[in-house]
């Protein structure tokens, strides 16, 4: 048995009726200072509905749940089934109201535990030599 690391939720993702926002817990308010300077953030959340040993042991999927797509290792996807259930989405900030950050959209289930927020800094120039598999 090797070391494990503990995540403490810092809030919750809300996603309902076409609106999305994140709610930060009051004890993390100070960590939001300066967010208003950014148009976009990276939102990290926990795929809590899949937090079972069986689902965390699923190592291959058909991307986008399409059986036409080749069986692919989860590290080569953004599948919500993976050993560590971290979801990652870039979101546009619509408004910040105290502990609530209203965002354009997020591919997280309503109620997903919020794990981290990071600023998003785009590349100054397009990356050269991008390669992608055909299913993308």
Residues that bind its own copies (CB under 8 A): 2-10, 24, 28, 30-35, 37-42, 44, 46, 48, 51, 56, 59-60, 70-78, 82-86, 88, 113, 115-119, 121-122, 126-127, 129-134, 136
Minimum CB distance to its own copies, residue 22 (Å): 10
User: Considering the complex, what minimum distance in angstroms separates the CB of residue 19 from its own copies?
Assistant: 20
**Choice between 88 and 100, CB closer to its own copies:** 88
Closest distance of CB 18 from its own copies, Å: 21
On the 0-12 / 13-18 / 19+ scale of CB atoms within 10 A, 96 is middle
CA distance 90 to 95: 15
Q: Return the number of the residue (55 or 60) whose C-beta is nearest its own copies.
A: 60
CB count within 10 Å of CB 2 equals 3
Specify the residue, 10 or 20, whose C-beta has the smaller distance to its own copies: 10
Please list, in sequence order, all residues whose beta carbon lies within 8 angstroms of the beta carbon of residue 62, skipping any fewer than 6 positions away: 68, 69, 70, 71, 72
Pick the closer one to its own copies by CB: 17 or 54: 54
Q: Residues 6 or more apart from 98 whose CB is under 8 A from it? A: none
């Amino acid at each position: 048995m090797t070391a494990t690391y503990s995540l403490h939720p810092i809030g919750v993702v809300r996603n309902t009726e076409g609106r999305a926002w994140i709610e930060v817990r009051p004890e993390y308010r100070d960590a939001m200072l300066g967010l208003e300077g950014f148009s976009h953030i990276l939102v990290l959340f926990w795929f809590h509905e899949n937090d079972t040993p069986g689902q965390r042991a699923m190592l291959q999927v058909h991307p986008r749940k399409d059986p036409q797509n080749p069986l692919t290792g989860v590290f080569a996807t953004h599948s919500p089934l993976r050993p560590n259930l971290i979801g990652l989405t870039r979101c546009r900030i619509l408004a910040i109201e105290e502990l609530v950050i209203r965002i354009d959209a997020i591919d997280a289930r309503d109620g997903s535990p919020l794990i981290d927020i990071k600023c998003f800094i785009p590349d100054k120039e397009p990356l050269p030599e991008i390669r992608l598999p055909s299913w993308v």
